A and B are shown apart, each in its own frame.
Chain A
Amino acid sequence: MVLGSVKMGIVTIQTVSVESEASSPIPAETCTSLSRHVDGVRVGCHMLLWAAVFAYTIYFCAVTFQRHDRLHTTLYDMGIFDQAVWLISRGHSAFLTTRGMHVLSDHFTPILYLLAPLYWIWDSPKVLLTAQSLSLALAAIPLFHIALHRLHSPVLALIIAVTYLLYPPMQWMNIFDFHTESFAPLLVLSMFWFLVRSQHRSCCIMAILLLLCKETMGLVVACIGIHALFRGERKFGSALILLGVVGLVGGMLVMRAFNHGQPSQYISLYASYGDSAPSIARYMLTHPARIIAQLTSQLNLKYLVGLLAPVGFLVLLTPEYIALALPTFLANMLSDRPQMHTTTYQYNATILPFLFIGVAHVEQVLEKWRRALSLRWRNACHIGVGVLLIVACAHAVAGGPLSSGSDTRQTSQSAAKRAGILGRALAVIPAQASVSAQTAIGAQLAHRRRLYMFPNPFQTAAWGNDPIALRHQLGLSFYALAPPALHARIAHADVEYVVLGPGDTSIFPLHGPEFQYEVRILLEDNHYGAIFAEGDILILKRGADFHAGRLIEEAVPGKLTFLRSGKAR
């Protein structure tokens, strides 16, 4: 039978054997009433949890849809995943012209093949945005159960689950286009929950799904296997470690095979340590001082504060769970890519489940301290954790996407006007046509076999399995071609339409002067003529009347703003 006690707003549930009930000094009526109250609290917390999950999903679906409609999603990365799933759903080869490589050579992401059937029902990138928001929201359910199992307090478990839903790094990840890593929190937390319940088969299914999200997920599975070993589940733990290693190595080998035997370009994210995996490992082992300096750099400390402050640094009390996220922490903190040292991208997807599992186990540590110090109020730990989480979370939310951020402040009037222009512009381009598009508008055009991010294919930028492509993403190593060379490339380019604008959206991977130069050369080239110029959007067509196109461009009042100034990257 389940008994409960209510103190200071926190409900504690204790399991009492039926035999002890007879000798219990508590009257039977009180027991029944208390039990009903406890059940009521538990049911209420479950309902609130589902309401929070539902509210989160609806809100973030609305925000991400709006971002997409207002051109705040980008070809790089929304368009890449959208094109991949669309190609798979139509039975085409998944070679991504947006990225210059096969989808499985960029990252090992077979989960996209499982998402493809959804495009048979609704042929839109919003399917991916919905799946992402829903998956991130549903992760609160296993987290709630893990916390409830550990804390025996539905109210505190609910606070932890809601803190997760309000966690700014998770929300930032949600609104930044779509990434397969977004499924990791749900799958990792589900793995953990099934591990706690010793449901090994379900845990394995979650592990396999996790391995399908990205090649590096093998490390996460292996870490959970190590955790299982420490729990005493030696056989299952070993099996998970083996599965993780197989997933990691297998994923790498598949990527290598799709890259025609070449290693992945992502090794160059650690180029400052070496140019191959062995040389990087050797450097790290032989230069510990440099590694420690890098790990403790100002950027990394700020990054850690950004991750830990929204959970009141509580997870520092349970370092064993931080240790499970250590591979991802190290990968991010040692990377040469600045975005990996921030809380606003998808790189934290495999860290945050462990942070929250750690938070769910904090009470255990506090209880140990309370006993050691012979303190009385048992619920003080609960209250302390709950209040700290609420305060930290509220503080974090103030600086998160809920309050500041989602770039959706465009007025509805201007948004409607732009939507009208965009609709007319996109209607000009046939469904099968090959297109080179500026990154923001390119995300709207990904359902075709040949879509390039401008200035591709006229000049290669951030394209292909090449370390230089990664450098282009960071604003490095880009050299514009001289006019004769660029005109020659334009003459032979296999692209029917070029779509440019609007001027206030991203011009990634170029900078203002580079973008203006590339556009100017293209406009001077008579292989393309303008067929649409309205607002800030310009469409050029191969073979169209060049001189008539000039007249169309000149007819636009105030000229096209993106020719004068491109938005900073």
Chain B
Amino acid sequence: MTGREWRDLRKPLGRRMSVAASVLCLVPMSISGCRQATATGQVLLIRAHAERVEEKGICSVSVGDGTVMLTNRSATPCIVNMNSDPHSSYFYFHVLDDSLKASKAVYAVVRYYDQAEQSHIELQYDMRRDAYRPAVLLSGGEYGGTHRWRAAVFRLDAPAFAGAQNGGADLRLHGKHLCIDALALSSELKRAFVALTPSREPR
């Protein structure tokens, strides 16, 4: 094929390509609208087991003030911060699953070990133009020194989860001597709670 034939061939190919591209874009766009609706209710979960951590659609991020260790409290596997300074110890998380990014609100349920006193848990998430937006605490989250497992519920309004926090994280937890057993995120609060019920797997 000569150069001229090659050039001539490119013209009709371009038109065909543009038609094909339009079809490829328009059809899936209509499908994606349907998928958005079905994506709600997805649960992202982190749960500590003996010598491993189960991660579904979300994972931990190691950064200077957010390196974590797997340990036990009251015979329950849990995650603690390795940093001894309680004022600069965080748990950073990166959301792997995109399904929650389009949600108006996401609920986070954290199960934590109540071992400190006169303090509470904070959750900060990556909202557009505010990488460390405090989440609204709906329930729990306080420390009373009861040495029991408790749950805290947060609401994250219009999360961007664009990885703007340290180390590309999307949200972080902070609390005095924070020790968590599980974290669940969902656009439906009930599903997040259900996900935190203990599994049958030996832990």
- Name B46's closest neighbour in chain A (CB-CB): A477
Known: A287-B28, A482-B71. A231 touches B62 (CB 8 A): no
- Name A297's closest neighbour in chain B (CB-CB): B162
Contact between B69 and A289, CB atoms less than 8 A apart: no
Within 8 Å by CB of A480, from B1, B68, B167, lies: B68
Q: Which residues of the other chain, B, contact A514 by a CB distance below 8 angstroms?
A: 62, 67, 82
Contact between B62 and A511, CB atoms less than 8 A apart: yes
B96 at the interface (CB under 8 A from A): yes
A364 at the interface (CB under 8 A from B): yes
Q: Which residues of the other chain, A, contact B167 by a CB distance below 8 angstroms?
A: 475
Tally of B interface residues using CB under 8 Å: 37
Contact between B24 and A271, CB atoms less than 8 A apart: no
How distant is A152 from chain B, measured CB to nearest CB, in Å? Answer: 14
Contact between B59 and A476, CB atoms less than 8 A apart: yes
Contact between B69 and A481, CB atoms less than 8 A apart: yes
- Give the residue among B32, B67, B71, B72 with the most A Cβ atoms within 10 A: B67
B55 at the interface (CB under 8 A from A): yes
Secondary structure at chain B's binding surface: helix, strand, loop or mixed? mixed
Within A280-301, the residues touching B (CB, 8 Å) are 285-290
A503 at the interface (CB under 8 A from B): no
Contact between B64 and A288, CB atoms less than 8 A apart: no
Q: Which residues of the other chain, A, contact B25 by a CB distance below 8 angstroms?
A: 288
Within 8 Å by CB of B79, from A288, A290, A479, lies: A479
Q: Which residues of the other chain, A, contact B51 by a CB distance below 8 angstroms?
A: 481, 485
A513 at the interface (CB under 8 A from B): yes
Contact between B6 and A231, CB atoms less than 8 A apart: yes
Q: How far is the CA of A111 from the CA of B83 in the complex (A)?
A: 46
Q: Could you mark each residue 1-33 of chain B with 1 if its beta carbon is under 8 Å from any beta carbon of chain A, else 0?
A: 101011001100000000000001100110110
Within 8 Å by CB of B60, from A287, A338, A476, lies: A476
Contact between B53 and A479, CB atoms less than 8 A apart: yes
A272 at the interface (CB under 8 A from B): yes
Q: Could you mark each residue 55-92 of chain B with 1 if its beta carbon is under 8 Å from any beta carbon of chain A, else 0?
A: 10001111110011111100000010011000000000
A377 at the interface (CB under 8 A from B): no
A278 at the interface (CB under 8 A from B): no
A122 at the interface (CB under 8 A from B): no
B201 at the interface (CB under 8 A from A): no
- Name B101's closest neighbour in chain A (CB-CB): A290
Contact between B70 and A230, CB atoms less than 8 A apart: no
Q: Which residues of the other chain, A, contact B98 by a CB distance below 8 angstroms?
A: 272-273, 290
How distant is B175 from chain A, measured CB to nearest CB, in Å? Answer: 18
Q: Which residues of the other chain, A, contact B147 by a CB distance below 8 angstroms?
A: none
Contact between B6 and A512, CB atoms less than 8 A apart: no
Q: How far is the CA of A231 from the CA of B25 in the complex (A)?
A: 29
Q: Which residues of the other chain, B, contact A231 by a CB distance below 8 angstroms?
A: 1, 6
Known: A476-B59, A478-B62, A482-B70. A288 touches B82 (CB 8 A): no
A423 at the interface (CB under 8 A from B): no
A46 at the interface (CB under 8 A from B): no
Contact between A480 and B69, CB atoms less than 8 A apart: yes
Q: Which residues of the other chain, B, contact A479 by a CB distance below 8 angstroms?
A: 53, 60, 68-70, 79
Q: How far is the CA of A237 from the CA of B143 in the complex (A)?
A: 70
A567 at the interface (CB under 8 A from B): no
Q: How far is the CA of A231 from the CA of B62 in the complex (A)?
A: 51
Q: How far is the CA of A213 from the CA of B37 in the complex (A)?
A: 44
Known: A364-B3, A477-B53, A513-B67. A288 touches B61 (CB 8 A): no
Known: A287-B28, A287-B32, A513-B82. A481 touches B70 (CB 8 A): yes
A407 at the interface (CB under 8 A from B): no
Q: Could you mark each residue 227-255 of chain A with 1 if its beta carbon is under 8 Å from any beta carbon of chain B, else 0?
A: 00011110000000000000000000000
Contact between B79 and A511, CB atoms less than 8 A apart: no
Contact between B32 and A475, CB atoms less than 8 A apart: no
How distant is A263 from chain B, measured CB to nearest CB, in Å? Answer: 17
A50 at the interface (CB under 8 A from B): no
Q: Could you mark each residue 353-385 of chain A with 1 if its beta carbon is under 8 Å from any beta carbon of chain B, else 0?
A: 000000000001000000000000000000000
Contact between A477 and B59, CB atoms less than 8 A apart: yes
B97 at the interface (CB under 8 A from A): yes
- Name B35's closest neighbour in chain A (CB-CB): A286
Within 8 Å by CB of B63, from A273, A286, A511, lies: A511
What are 7 A-to-B residue pairs whose CB atoms are below 8 Å?
A: A272-B97, A286-B32, A476-B62, A478-B60, A480-B68, A481-B51, A482-B69
Q: Given A471-B59, A511-B67, 6 other A-B contacts at CB below 8 A? A: A286-B28, A288-B28, A290-B98, A475-B167, A510-B62, A511-B62
A residues with a Cβ closer than 8 A to B are 230-233, 271-273, 285-290, 320, 336, 338, 364, 468, 471, 475-482, 485, 510-514, 517
